[in-house]
Amino acid sequence: MTIKNIAVIGAGVMGQGVAYQFAKYDYNITLVDISAEILDAAGKNIRNIERLDKLLHKSASTVKVSDKITFTTELSAIGSADFIIENIRENIALKEALYREMKAYIAGHALLAVNTSAVSITRLASFLKHPAQVMGIHFMNPVHLKPTVEVIRGYHTTADTIAATQALLQSVAMTGVVVNDLPGFISNRVLMLTVNEAVFALQDQVAQVADIDKIFRECFGHKMGPLETADLIGLDTILYTLEVLLESYNDTKFRPAPLLKKMVDAGLHGRKTNEGFYKYN
């Protein structure tokens, strides 16, 4: 199938990165959000990503990314898309409500990717007309710097859907590792436990923030420690993901650390609010 028009739903941290990456490779993007203010901010952030990407990577791309993206609050605009990538908040009820609403607009041939940290692809696909055309793509943040993603095969996802998705990813210099549909897949099933345990250790005053991260960077060769990673992902997203994992596996090992909850309640969501475990300008 030929994919030219891509709808990206949700213009937060991930939606901005996804829209940028596919626009850079000349796809026509429709970026949808419920909030006009968020779309405004997304436009500015995407221009910033483009400027830094061209500066740092001396990108040979001649595409002016902002010319390739249309911003809208109208969900019906997804009707012209060959491929849809959904990136709204990690909240099962919110995602389910959106999928029920989207059903009326999605073109019969379109493929749909759920960008999620842990929500069941099979369940979300069940709200749509063509579950065989639905898969998950778990992008990493920042999208344009993390070329390897998890491609999640739902119960009904066909081999053709996976193949078309892999080809699309290759066309934007990305690679998919195919995994089966169990909450958290590989990356978040393991990462969320590490981040959460690091927060428990901080709460128990085993060590300070910077020292916890230093151990991972210097002893294990990680590029970032668990608390820096949490700030990058967003503490709210970490909390929602742990709640989804806790509910899905019914296993208390995923219970969120009280300190994490307190920080989210206090509005310390990490880099996006300029403060999490660290402070940012």
Contact footprint for ligand NAI (CB under 6 A): 9-15, 32-35, 38, 87-90, 94, 98, 115-117, 138-139, 141, 233-234, 237, 241
> Do residues 124 and 99 touch, judged by C-beta distance below 8 A?
yes
Residues in the annotated binding site: 10-15, 33, 90, 95, 117, 141, 272
Closest CB 14 distance from ligand NAI, rounded Å = 3
CB of 22 to ligand NAI, least distance (A): 15
Nearest to 87 by CA among 156, 153, 21: 21
Q: What are phi and psi of 247, to 5 degrees?
A: -70, -40
Q: State the residue for tokens 């909030």.
A: 35
Q: Which is nearer to ligand NAI, 98 or 199 (CB)?
A: 98
Closest distance of CB 106 from ligand NAI, Å:
14
Residue 172, φ and ψ in degrees, nearest 5: -115, 30
User: 212 vs 57, 120, 219, 241, 265, CA distance in Å?
Assistant: 31, 32, 11, 22, 23
Q: Which of 130, 138, 144, 269 is catalytic?
A: 138
The Cβ-side half-sphere exposure at 9, using a 13 Å CA radius, reads 27
| 138 beta partners | 150
Query: What is the distance between the alpha carbons of residues 169 and 243, in angstroms, rounded to a whole number?
Result: 30
Q: Left (φ > 0), alpha (ψ -120 to 50) or beta: where does 232 sit?
A: alpha
- 138 has catalytic annotation: yes
What tokens does 118 get? 């842990």
Amino acid at 8: V
Q: Which is nearer to ligand NAI, 2 or 37 (CB)?
A: 37
- State the nearest-atom distance from the C-beta of 93 to ligand NAI, in Å: 11
Residues designated catalytic: 138
